[in-house]
């Protein structure tokens, strides 16, 4: 049996993630109390379901506190349990609730959306460490669906290295384990002929090939990750996210993320380009 748990902040895209899994053939359940997970899985197994996705969040109330123990119990039974924790910056969540005119599940008389978000963050503080985090602040629904499917398709028995490019002017990803700032490198943005391209296009690749410091930066980052990767493997982690940031997230960070992914091709690797996905 394969169990994907979806948790996170209200407005972060949990419904989108759950629907993406449903479209991929998972039997999906929204808002199940954590304490009911073992009994529910026994029932689903009797019905012949093997791929199951369940949303567990603050709507289930006090039972949420039992989630860490329940996850440990299920993993001890050799059930493939993966938890995806979705989050976004508070200002992004406030904007989403305002645009959709939805009510925050924890809001009430005298409680603002901002205060409800803060309360929810505190209630969920122990959950992110149970799985992998996805910062949806800059993601479209299509990009989130794609990222969720990629994570689910990865072999759970291996640590997945995620190389993620981003632009500092759009904010640092909250889901990053390592953040490398490459804004000191030559910037093709200032060449009008190169500006429309991205770090995956040949004109940008040719541009960086002329600057030795770019190759040196890639080698240094690669060496650090290679040195410490065994330590993260010992922790039995499922994912390690390495974020590479430049100013706009179009050229330098994209080029370096792509090169690092190739350097670790023998590992289980995913590549994300946060700013390239914004309009798709």
CATH number for the segment(s) 2-153? 3.40.50.300
Task: Indicate whether 185 pLDDT > 70.
Answer: yes
Q: In 3D, which of 160, 158, 156, 159 has the Cα closest to residue 80?
A: 156
Parallel, antiparallel, or unpaired: how do β-strands 132-135 and 80-87 relate? parallel
21-43 pLDDT per residue, tens: 999 999 999 999 999 999 999 99
Q: How far is CA 162 from the centre of its chain?
A: 9
Mean pLDDT (the chain) is: 93
In contact, 148 and 257? CB cutoff 8 Å:
no
Q: How many CB atoms lie within 10 A of CB 78?
A: 8
140-178 pLDDT per residue, tens: 999 999 999 999 998 888 899 999 999 999 999 999 999
Mean pLDDT of 200-212: 97
Can you state the percent helix, strand and coil of the chain, rounding each to 5? 45, 20, 35
Which phi and psi (to 5°) does residue 237 adopt?
-75, 150
- The pLDDT of residue 280 is 39
In contact, 247 and 167? CB cutoff 8 Å:
yes
> What is d(CA 116, CA 112) in angstroms, rounded to the nearest whole number?
6
Radius of gyration of the chain (CA): 20
pTM over 0.85: yes
Q: Can you give 11-31 as a three-state secondary structure string?
A: CCCHHHHHHHHHHCCCEEECC
What DSSP designation does 145 have? H
Domain spans in the chain, listed from the N-terminal domain onward: 2-153, 161-277
In contact, 180 and 244? CB cutoff 8 Å:
yes
Mean pLDDT of 49-59: 94
In the chain, the percentage of residues whose pLDDT exceeds 70 is: 98
> For residue 278, what pLDDT band results from cuts at 50, 70 and 90?
low
Mean pLDDT of 76-94: 94
Higher pLDDT, 53 or 156: 53
């Amino acid at each position: 049996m394969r169990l994907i748990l979806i948790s996170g902040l209200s407005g972060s895209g949990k419904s989108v993630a759950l629907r993406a899994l449903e479209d991929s053939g998972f039997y999906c359940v929204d808002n199940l109390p954590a304490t009911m997970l073992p009994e529910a899985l026994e029932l689903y197994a009797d019905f012949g379901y093997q791929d199951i996705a369940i949303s567990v969040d603050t709507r289930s109330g006090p039972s949420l506190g039992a989630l860490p123990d329940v996850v440990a119990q299920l993993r001890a039974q050799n059930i493939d349990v993966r938890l995806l924790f979705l989050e976004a910056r508070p200002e992004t969540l406030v904007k989403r609730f305002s645009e959709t005119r939805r009510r925050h599940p924890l809001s009430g008389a005298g409680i603002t959306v901002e205060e409800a978000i803060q309360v929810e963050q505190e209630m969920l503080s122990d959950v992110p460490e149970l799985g992998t985090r996805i910062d949806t602040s800059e993601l479209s629904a299509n990009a989130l669906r794609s990222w969720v499917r990629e994570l689910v398709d990865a072999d759970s028995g291996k640590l997945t290295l995620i190389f993620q490019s981003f632009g500092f002017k759009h904010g640092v990803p909250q889901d990053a384990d390592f953040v490398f700032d490459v804004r000191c490198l030559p910037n093709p943005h200032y060449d009008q002929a190169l500006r429309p391209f991205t770090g995956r296009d040949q004109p940008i690749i040719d541009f960086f090939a002329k600057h030795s410091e770019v190759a040196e930066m890639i080698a240094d980052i690669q060496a650090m990750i290679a040195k410490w990767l065994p330590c993260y493997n010992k922790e039995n982690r499922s994912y390690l996210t390495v974020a590479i940031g430049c100013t706009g997230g179009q050229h330098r960070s994209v080029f370096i993320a792509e090169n690092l992914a190739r350097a670790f091709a023998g590992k289980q690797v995913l590549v994300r380009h946060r700013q390239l996905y914004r309009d798709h």
